[in-house]
Structure 1
Amino acid sequence: MTPRPAPRRTARGAARAPVLLHDDRRRTFPPLPPATREDGAFAATWWGNAWVAALEETALDPARLARGRAYAGRGLVDAITVTPGRVTAYVHGSRARPYRAQIRLRVLGDDDWETFLDAAADRPDHIAALLDKDVPHALADLTDLLPHAGDLIPDCSCPDDGFPCKHAAALCYQAARLLDEDPFTLFLMRGRGEQEILAALSHRSAAHSAAENTAAPPPVPTVPARAAVTATPAVVLPPPLPPPAHPGRPPAYPEAPDAPDPLALELLATEAAARAHTHLTTGHDPVAALTPWQDAVRLAAAHPGSGLTAATRALYRDLAAALDRTPADLARAVAAWRQGGPAGLAVLEEPWDPPAGPFDRARPALLAADFPHFRPWHNRLSTATLQLRYGRDGLWYGYESDAGCEDWWPGGTPDPDPVGALSGLLGP
């Protein structure tokens, strides 16, 4: 038997299946290892859970669904092939020869894709989220991108006529893990490949930029220089020009031998333009009061990619080395900054003793909400895998870790209610 290739590791240490074949309209993934999540869930993202919900709401027999879930958890699903409108794999059952299972779903029409791409190109934060392997809710809601009950049509070569049979259910559960790792797999199921989508977004972004650059500016009133110098005080100079609505775009920096890194130059130019625009329009520089470490975390947090691409890994490495920190320190600090800005970073790095009041009322509130017992330490309440930290701003910040690791990572949204912060961390 041909040995299975070892799974790659992501930045957080989770196993990620390497792609065996990559065609923009056809992707084949090797067999995924057995599921190891302690909660038994097959999906961690909101779109992966939507996929699982569409399966479970359609199933006619909970017993077959449970057996399919067990098959997937034991890693009995072979390589998964994804093409537009179809997910296919061989699933091992009770006999020596595996069964061929598939899940079919409708591909989106051209009008739906045009709506999706136009909405994504109109907002740079949507493009950054897609590059960061995230799916904004607003984009998914524009079209029927996510399946609903009845959208997933199972089929299998086994004699069982269940809807779905356990083999098709196992394939559907394993497919949710692929969607967690790369939402572009979902886009391929709906009819468009990753390179096709990125090319369309690039074309639309270039068209938007060209339209902005070719717009003729309004005429500006002027005064001859001689008149401005020799005029009496009765002559009034024209008012100052209004500030632009947005910071200017940095130029393109080509790569050249012995030249500075183009990514670093673009990042610095973009930051300088944004700071100058803020100072011009508000009279305040929000970056001036930051420490070098806070400013490095802010820079890394503002750059899409979360340290996963080669460019952002180099950025994280250089920023961390400049301040005698490790890239892992910077990645954790970026997660805290994205969670709560400077206040979130302070919660990550500065334990303190809060006064009596909200902190003392938190433990009874958590027990009343059926959460497990939390151990107090300074401004923190902890279990083996969950932690709440009380900030000086009066908000609770959620953290999570693997059991026994004490490797706490920020998660969820800060909330004045500890139960709300913990519920946001755990998800629906």
Structure 2
Amino acid sequence: MNDNDEYDDTYDSDSDGDEEAGGGARDGRDEVRTFVASPPVRGRGFAQSWWGQTWIKALEDTALDGEQLQKGRRQARAGAVGAVSVRPGRVTAVVRDRDGTGRRCDVLLTELTDAGWDRFLDMAVDRSGHIAALLDREMPPHLVEDAASAGVELLPGVGDLEPECDCGAWDLCPHTAALCYEVARLLDQDPFVLLLMRGRGERRLLDELQLRSVARASAGAAPDEEPEAASPRVRADEAFAAREILPPLPAPPPPLQEPGQPPVLDTGTAPAPGIDPDALEFLAADAAARAHRLLSEALAPGHGDQPVEQVLTPDQDAVRMAAAVPGPVIAGRLAAATGRGRTALDLAVRAWRSGGTSALAVLDGEWTPGPEALARASSVLDAAWEETDRPRLRASAPGRWTVTGSDAQLRLGEDGRWWPYRKERGHWSPSGPGAHDPAAALAEALGESG
């Protein structure tokens, strides 16, 4: 075939071509990556990288119908292939004909078995160059040859590719051939696409490599060496006691300026039943923000002297997330999950923003003061104002005092702080932070703090 074949007609790219490249990634067999439509190829070889060129060679060496391949290559060079979705065992795209008719195409590639993946991973861990490159997100070309020596074929062989197209062809057609050529351009961008087609996405693969590498190291065996007996274990307290004679730890990394960006899960592929991509994106962004805060605090001077952060209950964590202003859809899901309802959740968010878990506990009435606590509270209230300035307070419930003739209320927390409340639309609502001085808290409730 002549790789300089041209196809003069102009094709409209698939409408999915406006999607972001890379798409969202999910662990296991559900992982999907989506690549935007590629522009036409003019006056040069179709694929540029070793991986792309090797894919084309394997494709052309194993194809039974060279004429269909040639037509498909012309369509691919003309930009007829739309956005491509890659998942384990399958590549999907819409390929357009001269008249603009779109054809849904799928090319199926045989996935490696679990035993095959075990052999591949063991081979990579056994060879220090391979594991170093893979963990650095590089795919060395000789990986194909070494994988083959372990009984694992990465590139397609005869019968490995199974085309499916709604044009009615029962075998390879120009549309599925064009999609096969487009895969070569994807491999130019990211060779890990080949491993995803064979059944494992990059994240899962690297995680498994890391685990096997750590297990091999803990057994005392370096790559390219036979495993040895496990190293003797050292108690943590003994290691800490010997800290003066051990080499110093490296300096901590510099603080990050902002949290990492979460993945975008809008891949154009329908999610699995029960999966909400918007909720997952919000959870990922929330996790990134919390991780950034924890790391920043850990690197701050004096962090070791700070108290351990309280572990939140699921209900408290839901209120915390709702306070992050996630939008009405996520807030509605959080309200349903907590059983609070939207109005009650809004009140809980106001409490959280005024004082975190302590303010939320006061709102929910988690603590009821006993006789001794009420007696101390009465003494504090008596001493908070001059005789002539003292407001008329009536105990409306244990630990709650309402100002007579107004919509203001004070609530006592278990930590001894007083929390201001105002009645709004028939609901007692938090109106400010807690204070040890009930007069200061009441000024917040009455709107006099400014």
Please give the TM-score of this superposition, normalised by the length of structure 1. 0.45
Please give the TM-score of this superposition, normalised by the length of structure 2. 0.43
